[in-house]
Chains A and B, each alone.
Chain A
Amino acid sequence: MTEIKNVSKSFGGRPVLENFSAAFPVGVTIIMGPSGRGKTTVLRLLMGLEKPDSGQISGVPEKMAAVFQEDRLPMDFRAAECVMMTAGRAVTRDKAIEDLTALGLGDEMKKPVRELSGGQRRRVAVVRAILAGADILFLDEAFTGLDTEIKKTVAGYILGNTRGKTVIAVTHDPEEAALLGGDIMNM
């Protein structure tokens, strides 16, 4: 189980987390709360992008994937290439195209990502994270820029491909939390 024990973290002398503890079992855990409570900091600590000032983090699987607040895609590449850049060895290009098409991007395969809309890029980022074949998936406001129907499709796609894995999602929107289900952790 992925655990955070008594972790404190401050930025520029401003404390963001103080003696924070949490456990993330296999399945979906949703971290909710207003802005500035340190939700993204928790994810960044788990991803190893920040070091805690004190406390311990344990049980984080080696193979990680994430949908960041920003899409973080290489803009000159096409959607399928963006997926293949982090895809596991077993994933073929056809599989990437199949999944992108399932999320409504079938007509956008020939365009570089920079020519896609914000919502389309978001879906590329989601497929990339899923096909990375990771044991733990971090979702930081993963539904930003998607309309209601697409959100349902994307949530179904995520849930259908992460059985038996740890999913930690950050959101401030109760509707998005409801789409993913799982345990709610309020901060």
Chain B
Amino acid sequence: MAGRCLTTRSTMGPKRKEALEKAGAIIFALAIWQAAAVAVNTRILLVGPIDVLLRLCTIWQMENFWGSIWFTFYHIVSGFLLGLAVGVLLAALSARYHTAETLLWPFMITIKSVPVASFIVICLIWLSAKNVSVFISFLIVMPVVYGNMLSGIRAMDKNLLEMTAVFRMPGLRRLKYVYLPELKPFIMSACSTALGMSWKAGVAAEIIGTPDGSIGKQLYYAKVWVDTDDLLCWTVIIVICSVAFEKLFMAMIKGMYRRLEGA
């Protein structure tokens, strides 16, 4: 019997072991949360994971549940994609023209250092509340992508660039065979970092702007009514949406690279 147990342990792959360890850590964290909720014993202050789970089972029945999710998803993802595109373009411009980099520098520093809440309030004066999450998501994503891509372009293999010049490779072939593969780790890193940030900042913008039919407004109502069940339930939904989109988007990028490399 002891021998069988030993065999099972030794054949467990490192991935399976890591997954089990993580599952254990999650169960431990949930147990602490539940214990804290029981100890506090005041639903307004803290509800446990079991209550949140129970609320999750019914919350989808509320009016405009899916509409709220779609509204927030659509706006934050639009801002993310816009930030990604503009960040890449500006990085390419800065890498090509030093003047562009110098002129963009104060904007990038300002965007990075000014608190998100200040931007949200300023944007609420300029824009309708409906569009603030798009702009804030864009504003958070763009400098991250810009910085990563600029570093990536600067770190590109000079030998490969010389090769493309000697062979007079056309632009699209350069993009396919040199630029995209060389920038792969920087693109992946930028997207991975920016995706999480866009959701955090976008939802914060919605909570302050409270546009109709958004998750941010639902969170705002939960705060006003001191409905901790709903507050935590919507938070869980945001995390699920954020993680699901991150996994989907990163899988799409990896898939694009697999196709590019002809694997």
- Chain A residues whose C-beta falls within 8 Å of the C-beta of B169 in the assembled complex: 85-86
Say whether, besides A68-B159, A85-B173, A76 and B181 are in contact (CB < 8 Å): yes
A99 contacts B by Cβ under 8 Å: no
Residue in B165, B177, B184, B263 whose beta carbon sits within 8 Å of that of A85 in the complex: B177
B166 and A74 contacting across the interface, CB-CB below 8 Å:
no
Shortest beta-carbon distance from B59 to chain A in Å: 45
Say whether, besides A81-B262, A112-B261, A66 and B181 are in contact (CB < 8 Å): no
B123 contacts A by Cβ under 8 Å: no
State the main secondary structure of chain B at its contact with A: helix
- Chain A residues whose C-beta falls within 8 Å of the C-beta of B263 in the assembled complex: 112
In the complex, A32→B178 CA distance in Å?
Answer: 32
B168 and A62 contacting across the interface, CB-CB below 8 Å:
yes
Q: Mark B151-165, 1 if CB is under 8 A from A, else 0.
A: 000000001101101
Shortest beta-carbon distance from A91 to chain B in Å: 13
A20 contacts B by Cβ under 8 Å: no
A48 and B165 contacting across the interface, CB-CB below 8 Å:
yes
Shortest beta-carbon distance from A130 to chain B in Å: 12
- Chain B residues whose C-beta falls within 8 Å of the C-beta of A90 in the assembled complex: none
Interface centre among B159, B166, B168 (most CB of A within 10 A): B166
A68 and B168 contacting across the interface, CB-CB below 8 Å:
no
In the complex, A165→B72 CA distance in Å?
Answer: 63
B168 and A63 contacting across the interface, CB-CB below 8 Å:
yes
Interface centre among A76, A78, A134, A138 (most CB of B within 10 A): A76
A77 and B177 contacting across the interface, CB-CB below 8 Å:
yes
Residue in B159, B165, B168, B176 whose beta carbon sits within 8 Å of that of A70 in the complex: B159
Residue in B166, B168, B181, B262 whose beta carbon sits within 8 Å of that of A78 in the complex: B262
A158 contacts B by Cβ under 8 Å: no
In the complex, A53→B5 CA distance in Å?
Answer: 75
B168 and A72 contacting across the interface, CB-CB below 8 Å:
no
In the complex, A70→B158 CA distance in Å?
Answer: 12
Q: How large is the interface on A (under 10, 10 to 19, 20 to 34, 35 or more residues)?
A: 20 to 34
State the main secondary structure of chain A at its contact with B: loop
- Interface positions, chain A 40-65, Cβ under 8 Å from B, are 47-49, 62-65
In the complex, A64→B169 CA distance in Å?
Answer: 10
- Chain B residues whose C-beta falls within 8 Å of the C-beta of A169 in the assembled complex: none
A74 and B160 contacting across the interface, CB-CB below 8 Å:
yes
Say whether, besides A49-B162, A70-B159, A72-B162, A86 and B181 are in contact (CB < 8 Å): no
- Interface positions, chain A 118-132, Cβ under 8 Å from B, are 132
Closest residue of chain B to A43, judged by CB?
Answer: B166
- Chain A residues whose C-beta falls within 8 Å of the C-beta of B162 in the assembled complex: 49, 68, 72
Closest residue of chain B to A47, judged by CB?
Answer: B166
A76 and B261 contacting across the interface, CB-CB below 8 Å:
yes
B126 contacts A by Cβ under 8 Å: no
- Chain B residues whose C-beta falls within 8 Å of the C-beta of A134 in the assembled complex: 167
Question: Which residues of B are in contact with A by a Cβ distance under 8 Å?
Answer: 159-160, 162-163, 165-169, 173, 176-178, 181, 184, 261-263
Listed A/B pairs (21) with beta-carbon separation below 8 Å:
A47-B166, A49-B165, A64-B167, A68-B163, A70-B159, A75-B181, A76-B184, A77-B177, A77-B181, A77-B262, A78-B261, A81-B261, A81-B262, A85-B169, A85-B173, A85-B176, A85-B177, A86-B169, A112-B261, A112-B263, A134-B167
Beyond A66-B163, A134-B167, 8 additional contacts (C-beta under 8 Å) are A48-B166, A68-B162, A74-B160, A76-B181, A76-B184, A78-B261, A81-B261, A112-B263
The 4 lowest CB-CB distance pairs between A and B, nearest first, are A86-B167, A85-B177, A72-B163, A76-B261
